[in-house]
Chain A
């Protein structure tokens, strides 16, 4: 599955010489081995660590293979840390955030790109300006806002809205979507309008079907961002029953045997890692097309 060769730093003729070939083989083997140890090794340690006995985990020097297998550690971790609950919460937050982002951000980008309302450019500018504000700076006022929403005076803490709604205010998503919508020919929109299609109809039957790749990228990042977030869910979901995997494992890990925690960490890593392996092509392309401006 390797891509066609283009000329890079080292030329093909150099590689074809016996010395070049030997050198290339050595570097390749070293790189593959090194990368496997450095990036896959810790994951291997995590999965096998969860299979070891409590004594073996803290044994010195550590063992490469578990002496005896204890798959029941995973069951213990699942029960003792309430992993099912944590997993469900995380999924619920991630996919709720995804749904709201798709709904509101797509609508906003569509309005800014195709309907062009009065003050549209000013609104887009104000949205993009928020990208310049370091996220950490707004944590305190954002938290106080969620605690007592202005005008409405509702407290969103311990409700999923505290996680869902702020994710909609994502200028990067809107920018990415708007840029993609801009590339959809104006003639198509005009033709739809002549046929009597309402703006909503045009969005559903022209814009959305053409935008599948960008919608995929936005969706993946929406889910992963919620899955990986730490500080915000820790602040706004203080009730243990509502916590995410990240926070739950951290706060429940005191006083639990190490092999159990390691098993819990392995369980927590599986969903995103599998998700990544399935969507790696989309993630990689999304990263290089839009990641730079993130």
Chain B
């Protein structure tokens, strides 16, 4: 390869010193280009990562910081809200997977079969993703209103029993999940759709010649062919849904009736910004990190395979 020359004296590839100087200069230029991004990463992700771990083992009282070992974790384990937040978060994740994983897959398969109105339908599915979360969430809050809300009006018109939606501890979390699915399903649907379009048509033809009906074709061709993307998205969704914050925060003020929608991230928020207990908030974040690390590691392994 031709020598990459930097203008001026350094261009003369003569002595050993000249080469060294050129290398130094090249590196200085390169690191100059990296400087801004490095600074931002340093300040806003790398340093906070270290600080998160350090703060988990510290307590700050009246401006004085001291090491407290595992006290923060101890405090969390004794807080009933901690256990409830984890239960709620797992429930949310489970419901969000049933709805937010299965529904987009079904919709993607359906869209892939339709030969008309493709772009229109695709735009519609993705439309809610582009709305500011406050707009979507407050919209659903109006729909959920037990008295004049749209949902209960429809149920009444159909002579079906109405629901208290967000106002009852039994249905609050489900209501949050429904709103969240509406808001977010567009992304997953389009990714599935891209995966479905990559399936070679001959596979379906061959299966049909072998006498496979519609369901067997779904089971033996569609699902195996998209398995990798399905499992990647599943992991991604677990990691994303376990961090849910905005939907419960805006729909139910965070806690919901009898704490039924308190999620782990909301509890982190409460510890940090309502109780000013940064130590416990960090410890809770660290626990979350450990729980999610397993899923992230699995995701990285699978996505290497996908490349």
> Which residues of A come within 8 Å of B, CB atoms?
1-3, 5-11, 15, 24, 27-28, 31-32, 35-36, 38-40, 42-43, 45-46, 49, 58-62, 100, 103-105, 107-108, 110-112, 115-118, 120, 123, 126-127, 130, 132-146, 149-150, 165-166, 168-169, 171, 174, 186, 189-190, 193-194, 196, 198-199, 224, 227-228, 230-231, 235, 245-247, 249-250, 253, 258, 261-262, 265-266, 268-269, 272-273, 275-277, 280, 283-284, 287-288, 291-294
| Cβ-defined contact, B132 with A245, below 8 A | yes
Nearest chain B CB to A88's CB is how many angstroms away?
15
The chain A residue with its CB closest to the CB of B278 is: A140
A–B complex contacts, Cβ < 8 Å, 12 sampled? A10-B113, A28-B114, A115-B30, A132-B297, A136-B245, A139-B272, A141-B47, A168-B36, A168-B37, A230-B134, A250-B138, A272-B131
- Name the one of B7, B122, B303 contacting A198, with C-beta atoms under 8 angstroms: B7
Residues of chain A within 8 A (CB-CB) of B282 are 140-141
Asked if B124 contacts A45 (CB within 8 A), the reply is: no
Given contacts A140-B272, A190-B4, 14 further A-B contacts (CB under 8 A): A2-B119, A49-B142, A126-B41, A136-B245, A138-B285, A146-B44, A168-B40, A169-B37, A198-B7, A249-B134, A258-B142, A265-B139, A287-B126, A291-B187
Q: Pick the contact of B123 from A133, A171, A266, A280 — CB < 8 Å?
A: A280
Contact of A283 among B46, B126, B269 (CB under 8 A): B126
User: What is the bound-complex CA distance between A3 and B139, given in angstroms?
Assistant: 35
A292 to B236, CA, bound (A): 9
B12 within 8 A of A: no
B70 at the interface (CB under 8 A from A): no
Asked if B31 lies at the interface with its beta carbon under 8 angstroms from chain A, I say: yes
Residues of B within 8 A of A168 (CB): 36-37, 40-41, 44
Residues on A with C-beta less than 8 A from B139 are: 42, 45-46, 265
**Chain A residues closer than 8 Å to B126, beta-carbon distance:** 276, 280, 283-284, 287
| B1 sits at the interface (CB 8 A) | yes
Q: Min CB distance, A10 to chain B, in Å?
A: 6
Beyond A139-B268, A276-B127, A284-B190, is A228–B55 a contact (Cβ under 8 Å)? no
Contacts of A198 in B (CB 8 A): 6-7
A122 to chain B, nearest CB (A): 12
For A130, give the chain B residue with the smallest CB separation: B45
How many angstroms between the C-alpha atoms of A140 and B125 in the bound complex? Answer: 34
Check B68 for interface membership: any CB of A closer than 8 A: no
Q: Which 5 A-B pairs have the closest CB atoms?
A: A7-B201, A117-B30, A108-B37, A104-B36, A115-B30
Known: A7-B201, A276-B130. A31 touches B110 (CB 8 A): yes
Majority secondary structure, B binding face? helix
B295–chain A nearest beta-carbon distance, Å: 9
Could you tell me which B residues sit within 8 Å of A by CB distance?
1-2, 4-7, 26-27, 29-31, 33-34, 36-38, 40-41, 43-49, 51-52, 55, 109-128, 130-136, 138-139, 142-143, 147-148, 150, 153, 156-157, 182, 187, 190-191, 193-194, 196-197, 199, 201-202, 204-205, 208, 214, 217-218, 221-222, 229, 232-233, 236, 239, 242-243, 245-246, 249-250, 265, 268-269, 272-273, 278, 281-282, 285-286, 288-289, 292-293, 296-297, 300, 303
Contact check, B45 vs A133: say whether CB atoms are below 8 A apart.
Answer: yes
Q: How far does the alpha carbon of A199 sit from the alpha carbon of B43 in the complex, in Å? A: 27
Residues of B within 8 A of A196 (CB): 5, 7
Shortest distance from the beta carbon of B155 to any chain A beta carbon, whole Å: 11
Q: Which of A3, A46, A165, A193 contacts B4 (CB under 8 A)?
A: A193
Is B148 touching A58 in the complex (CB atoms < 8 A)?
yes
Contact partner, A149, options B43, B143, B278, Cβ 8 Å: B43
**CB <8 Å contact, A39 and B125:** yes
Q: Point out the residues of chain B lying under 8 angstroms from A247, CB to CB.
A: 134
Q: If the complex has contacts A123-B38, A141-B55, are A231 and B246 also in contact, measured as CB distance less than 8 A?
A: yes
Report B92 CB to chain A, min CB distance, Å: 13
B187 & A287 in contact (Cβ 8 Å cutoff): yes
Structural contact, A140 and B119, CB atoms closer than 8 A: no
Residues of A within 8 A of B34 (CB): 107-108, 111-112, 117, 123
* C-alpha gap A224/B47 in the complex (Å): 26
Report Cα–Cα, A139/B296, bound state, in Å: 19
Which residues from B are CB-within-8-Å of A150? 43, 47
Q: Least Cβ distance of B107 to chain A in Å?
A: 9
Contact partners of B286 in chain A: CB under 8 A: 137
The reply to whether B4 and A246 contact each other, CB–CB distance below 8 Å, is no
Distance (whole angstroms) from the CB of B304 to the closest CB of chain A: 11
Check B204–A8 contact: CB distance below 8 A: yes
- CB neighbours (8 Å) of A107 from chain B are 33-34, 36-37
A273 with B127: CB separation less than 8 A: yes
Contact partner of B132 (CB less than 8 A), chosen from A253, A272, A284, is: A272
Tell me whether B41 and A60 are in contact (CB under 8 A).
Answer: no
Asked whether A292 lies within 8 Å of B132 as measured between CB atoms, the reply is no
Determine whether the beta carbon of B27 is less than 8 Å from that of A118. yes
Could you say which residues of chain B place their CB within 8 Å of the CB of A136? Answer: 243, 245, 265, 268, 285, 288
